[in-house]
Amino acid sequence: MRRFDTSPKGSKEEIMKSLEEIHKIRVEKRKELDLRVNTKADTREKHILVCHGTGCTSSKSPEILENFRKIIKEKNIENVRVIKTGCFGLCAKGPIVIIRPEDTFYAMVKPEDCEEIIQTHIIEGKRVERLLCKDIDGKIVNSLDELNFYKKQKRIALKNCGVINPEEIDEYIAFRGYEALERVLREYTQDEVIDIIKQSGLRGRGGAGFPTGKKWELTKNAEGEQKYVVCNADEGDPGAFMDRSILEGDPHSVLEAMEIAGYSIGANQGYIYVRAEYPIAVKRLQIAINEARDYGILGKNIFGTGFDFDIEIRLGAGAFVCGEETALLESIEGKRGQPRVKPPYPAQHGLWGKPTLINNVETYANIAQIILNGSDWYSAIGTENSKGTKVFALGGNVNNIGLVEVPMGTTLREIVYDIGGGIPNGREFKAAQTGGPSGGCIPKEHLDTPIDYESLKSIGSMMGSGGLIIMDDTKCMVSLARFYLQFTVSESCGKCTPCRIGTKRMLEILEKLCAGEGDELDIYKLEKLAVNIQKASICGLGQSAPNPVISTLKYFREEFREHAIAKECRALECKSIANIVIDSDKCKGCGLCQKNCPVNAIEGEGREKRVINQDKCVKCGTCLTSCPFHAIGK
């Protein structure tokens, strides 16, 4: 396991870089890396980029990287470099290999494919047809930009992800890295920086959407000599991995923004609170911090301006509630992560009682771009009250699972169908869940809602940190609500009673409904409890815990009533009340269901229509997915 060095390494004078040297790196490295972003780059070099995000890493991308390097060395090939990068976004097609400058996109590469790629692509100059990525419509895609998945995206926070090697500071500098920090330190006053952020309209990307500039101003104006900057990288929403990808793909962008924030509010110490479940992100952050210290970009007297700033990493230890800002502060202080009563807010009374600025990873990732391109550029993107872009982790029952960054105001339909490529297996869209355990479900009739803070709130959901889970018609909304309540019950810190006991009671009622033992009164009780918990809990976790229940009740009340009164589950997910039957009109007698049934509950021979023996059936649902004619249902 990694060690955390708490002493600044920047004291090694011999490798500290002067401003001139950094400018030189920027110009020279940029020329060298032109082929990464310019398909017509004038160079004989080729770069093989291998995705090293968590998804691709778990499907052996480090082995692919090693293989490429080995083969290139063996064959003595010149002008080819193999580079590890952050996430390209399209995790469903991983491991991903991209060859630049021609921008060829190879999907689902296996370690044994490296030989062929080198031989055919690099040596013979042809494409390896069988590995080229196919779009949802079956069309073979030659380059990244041709994919429908990327067409509607606009990358600001993820700008460098998949372009640079996150473990090399020079590559970050080449793409205007630390230029914003330099400009801020040398040209702007504290108030000027805060004004730019305020005018850009940037709002917190952690969920609640508090205006970032306002938060900076409050912390700057708070009284106190010692102030802190904290980065909330405790991404706990199940199904959300935006922050992780930014930390893994572009860690320096977060460091730079924290320094800018530190300068603006008058702090010289920063902490990044990151989940221990993200070992790769932690490692790359530590590398980035060390590199920045070596270059003198972190530490004392940054760029010779007299501004000091240092950053330390603090590890989380698996508690969802620590994503709540005051619980996070408690955890940094080495205590149980239990939220404090607000007010006072962290801006006045934060870490060790000092004024503290807390922003989320994605919020920070936007800062340098805003400084470089101006607040007008940023505020031109998005809707009236929600500016810029938002990164979503698209998952669940959708074809293109992965990371998407879209301008605010993009509709859900565009994300699900144009970018996400629709629902697999010919199924129907049922609902989209945003905001994780604090958010809600969006049904089909709201597919055309533009996504921004206000409109999501008005339809009973919330932006959240950006998890976006798509569900098809095989998902039961009652058991989904139960799933989220299970989560909240196990993650409730126990400090306040409404959350600790109330959520438990809600869960019990939902379990009763799923088991077919509930009645209509239970639905009423659920609603009542939900309102009380919302009103009486002390922190965001408790206040938002009933949201999944409230929103599913709002849009799928019929399903709750079916569970309570008719004891039926139309999605066939609640096993104790589901009855699976085969529609004899649709059944073609292929026998696939029979082959797949683990308990031999399906009867019939040859081309006969099949029947399910209800006594034997364990309602596992395997036959439902195996039937090519959708003949099996309730």
Options 254, 401, 463, 477; binder of other proteins; rule CB under 8 A = 401
Applying CB under 8 A, the span of 116-124, 181-189, 391-399, 444-452 interacting with other proteins comes to 391-399
Applying CB under 8 A, the span of 67-75, 130-138, 358-366, 465-473 interacting with other proteins comes to 465-473
Residue 314 as a binder of other proteins (CB under 8 A): the answer is: yes
Options 136, 287, 592, 620; binder of other proteins; rule CB under 8 A = 620
Least distance from other proteins to the Cβ atom of residue 51, Å: 10
Burial of 521 (0-12, 13-18, 19+ CB in 10 A): exposed
Q: Give me the count of residues in the chain.
A: 634
x/- letters, 56..75, toward other proteins (CB under 8 A)? --xx----------------
CA distance 458 to 441: 12
Q: Which is nearer to other proteins, 182 or 559 (CB)?
A: 559
Residue 469 as a binder of other proteins (CB under 8 A): the answer is: yes
Binders of other proteins among residues 479 to 498 (CB under 8 A) are: 483, 487, 493
Residue 303 as a binder of other proteins (CB under 8 A): the answer is: no
Residue 336 as a binder of other proteins (CB under 8 A): the answer is: yes
The secondary element (H helix, E strand) that includes residue 173 is: helix 169-174
CA distance 195 to 199: 6
Site residue total, other proteins (CB under 8 A): 52
Residue 442 as a binder of other proteins (CB under 8 A): the answer is: no
Q: Which is it for strands 46-51 and 80-85: parallel, antiparallel or unpaired? A: parallel
CA distance 600 to 173: 62
Please report, for residues 149, 474, 571, the alpha-carbon distance to residue 424 in angstroms, rounded to integers and kept in the order given. Answer: 15, 12, 17
Residue 544 as a binder of other proteins (CB under 8 A): the answer is: no
259's CB contacts (< 8 A; 6+ apart) are 181, 270, 297, 298, 302, 309, 311
Residue 443 as a binder of other proteins (CB under 8 A): the answer is: no
Please report, for residues 43, 187, 259, 299, 368, the alpha-carbon distance to residue 184 in angstroms, rounded to integers and kept in the order given. Answer: 35, 6, 10, 17, 10
Options 28, 192, 333, 608; binder of other proteins; rule CB under 8 A = 333
CA distance 456 to 443: 12
Residue of 489, 477, 543 lying closest to 513 (CA atoms)? 477
Applying CB under 8 A, the span of 22-30, 180-188, 466-474, 556-564 interacting with other proteins comes to 466-474
Residue 421 as a binder of other proteins (CB under 8 A): the answer is: no
Residue 467 as a binder of other proteins (CB under 8 A): the answer is: yes
* Strand, coil or helix: 394: strand
Judge contact between 332 and 323, C-beta under 8 A.
no
Applying CB under 8 A, the span of 39-47, 310-318, 367-375, 506-514 interacting with other proteins comes to 310-318
Least distance from other proteins to the Cβ atom of residue 54, Å: 5
Applying CB under 8 A, the span of 216-224, 330-338, 404-412, 556-564 interacting with other proteins comes to 330-338
Least distance from other proteins to the Cβ atom of residue 399, Å: 12
Q: Which is nearer to other proteins, 201 or 540 (CB)?
A: 540
Options 110, 151, 335, 535; binder of other proteins; rule CB under 8 A = 335
Residue 542 as a binder of other proteins (CB under 8 A): the answer is: no
Least distance from other proteins to the Cβ atom of residue 92, Å: 5
Binders of other proteins among residues 179 to 218 (CB under 8 A) are: none
Judge contact between 602 and 622, C-beta under 8 A.
no
Q: Which is nearer to other proteins, 128 or 471 (CB)?
A: 471
CA distance 622 to 628: 12
Judge contact between 184 and 262, C-beta under 8 A.
no
Q: Which is nearer to other proteins, 37 or 317 (CB)?
A: 317
**Partners of 167 in the β-ladder:** none
The tokens describing 343, both together, are 């007010």
Residue 353 as a binder of other proteins (CB under 8 A): the answer is: no
Could you tell me how far CA 329 lies from the centroid of its own chain? 22
Residue 92 as a binder of other proteins (CB under 8 A): the answer is: yes
CA distance 550 to 570: 20
Residue 604 as a binder of other proteins (CB under 8 A): the answer is: no
| Beta strand residue intervals within 7-79, DSSP E | 46-51
C-alpha triplet 34, 254, 352: angle, nearest 5° = 165
Residue 10 as a binder of other proteins (CB under 8 A): the answer is: no
Please report, for residues 143, 236, 395, 439, the alpha-carbon distance to residue 467 in angstroms, rounded to integers and kept in the order given. Answer: 27, 10, 8, 10
**Partners of 357 in the β-ladder:** 229
SS3 content of the chain, % helix, strand, coil (to 5): 45, 15, 40
Residue 402 as a binder of other proteins (CB under 8 A): the answer is: yes
- Is the CA virtual torsion 394, 141, 67, 34 positive or negative? negative
Least distance from other proteins to the Cβ atom of residue 275, Å: 9
The secondary element (H helix, E strand) that includes residue 270 is: strand 269-274
Residue 264 as a binder of other proteins (CB under 8 A): the answer is: no
Binders of other proteins among residues 123 to 142 (CB under 8 A) are: none
Residue 239 as a binder of other proteins (CB under 8 A): the answer is: yes
Q: Which is nearer to other proteins, 123 or 618 (CB)?
A: 618
Residue 464 as a binder of other proteins (CB under 8 A): the answer is: no
Residue 478 as a binder of other proteins (CB under 8 A): the answer is: no
Residue 270 as a binder of other proteins (CB under 8 A): the answer is: no
Q: Which is nearer to other proteins, 79 or 490 (CB)?
A: 490
Residue 256 as a binder of other proteins (CB under 8 A): the answer is: no
Q: Which is nearer to other proteins, 476 or 509 (CB)?
A: 476
Question: Which residues of this protein are in contact with other proteins, per CB under 8 A?
Answer: 1, 3-4, 6, 54-55, 58-59, 91-92, 94, 236-241, 244, 276-278, 314-320, 331-337, 393, 395-397, 401-402, 433, 436, 467, 469-471, 475, 483, 487, 493, 620
